[in-house]
Amino acid sequence: MTRAIGWAAPPLRALALILAISMIAFFCIRAVPGDVVDVLAAQGDLTAAQQAEMRQAMGLNASPIVQFLTWGGRALHGEFGNSLRFGKPVGELFLNALPATLHLGLLAFAIGLGLALTLALGALAAPRSPLPLLVQAVNIWSIAVPTFCIGIAGILIFSIWLGWLPAIGHLGLPAAILGIDIAGQLVKPLHDELRQAQAAPHVRTARAKGLHPLRIGLFHLLPTAMPVLLALSSVVLAGVLGGTLTLEVLFGLPGVGSLALNAMHGRDWPLLQATIVFLAAGVVLINAAAELLHRLLDPRPRR
């Protein structure tokens, strides 16, 4: 019984969070002074009577709760409204922008994970080399140095001074910058966990058998550290999201971040609201999946 509750809890929690986030997004956007009709009225001439009529027709006179329920009901059918500036359904705009964001995010994540694993295992295998110091350095670097600063410096060096890369529209530099950032968040907890795992009896046995340190690291230590990586996923995911959105804007990639920011500056509220709800829902669902996977990989009862 309790096990069933344990398995059902993350999805239910995710649903509750998505609902709550949708409500927050809805009411924050409704709190913006001026509504759609004001925007349209500013663009074309509308008399006060026409404006009142439009408000009635769009349901803007109803109470906020009723408006939210109406929006939620439509959202469940996949209708999130139309963009004010582009006139297209916001879902379509979001899906058009998503591949660019996913490319950058996934590439950066792969680089970050690879770098973190290499560094952590390397530092473990050679504790007297400069590698453990590098683990610390990458960790502090990722906390302290904003990705967009490195991005600007990178553009200045590689695109303007050396002329090796186009200034905008390419993926390599932003992915590398974000990858190092992700590696910095992962590598220290991973290294700590691996060092603790070294004391386990099965690792001593493996060492006594004379196995190569790399083999011990990969096949005996790393599996015990996997749950840590999953536990970190929510922090890393938020970092990837923030970093991707910023770097997209900096490197002129047509992704979700550019979409949301343009919606924000262009006062395209339906688009902004939907983009935020979609992104937040994605983060919440991935975190719930990571929690379930964590439970599967690490059956020990939670502390």
* Residue number, 23 or 113, with CB nearest to other proteins: 23
**Backbone angles phi and psi of 164, in degrees to 5:** -80, -30
Among 146, 166, 169, 172, binds other proteins (CB under 8 A): 146
What is the sign, positive or negative, of the torsion defined by CA atoms of 293, 294, 299, 302?
A: negative
11 to 40: interface string for other proteins, x by CB under 8 A: ------x--xx--xx--xx-xx--------
Q: Is 297 in the site for other proteins (CB under 8 A)?
A: no
Q: Is 152 in the site for other proteins (CB under 8 A)?
A: yes
Among 42, 140, 296, 297, binds other proteins (CB under 8 A): 140
* Residue number, 227 or 282, with CB nearest to other proteins: 282
Give the rounded distance of the alpha carbon of 24 from its chain centre: 19
User: Nearest approach, Cβ of 260 to other proteins (angstroms)?
Assistant: 6
Among 245, 253, 259, 271, binds other proteins (CB under 8 A): 245
Q: Report long-range pairs for 69-72 (Cβ below 8 Å, ≥24 apart).
A: 71/26, 72/22
- Among residues 215, 225, 156, the alpha carbon closest in space to that of 187 is found at 225
Q: Is 241 in the site for other proteins (CB under 8 A)?
A: yes
User: Nearest approach, Cβ of 238 to other proteins (angstroms)?
Assistant: 4
* Residue number, 57 or 65, with CB nearest to other proteins: 65
154 to 173: interface string for other proteins, x by CB under 8 A: -xx---x-------------
Q: Could you say which DSSP state residue 198 is in?
A: T
**Backbone angles phi and psi of 82, in degrees to 5:** -105, 150
Quick check: 270 and 84 in contact, CB under 8 A?
yes
- Among residues 191, 180, 190, 189, the alpha carbon closest in space to that of 112 is found at 180
Q: Is 95 in the site for other proteins (CB under 8 A)?
A: no
Stretch in the footprint of other proteins (CB under 8 A) among 51-59, 80-88, 93-101, 239-247: 239-247
247 to 266: interface string for other proteins, x by CB under 8 A: --xx---------xx--xx-
* Residue number, 69 or 152, with CB nearest to other proteins: 152
Report the C-alpha gap between 32 and 37 in whole angstroms.
Answer: 13
The three-class DSSP label of residue 138 is: helix
DSSP 171-194: SHHHHHHHHHHHHHHHHHHHHHHH
Q: Which residues contact 35 (CB under 8 A, 6 or more apart)?
A: 55, 60
Residues engaged in binding other proteins (CB under 8 A):
17, 20-21, 24-25, 28-29, 31-32, 127-128, 140-141, 143-146, 148-150, 152-153, 155-156, 160, 234, 237-238, 241-242, 245-246, 249-250, 260-261, 264-265, 269, 272, 276, 279-280, 283-284, 287
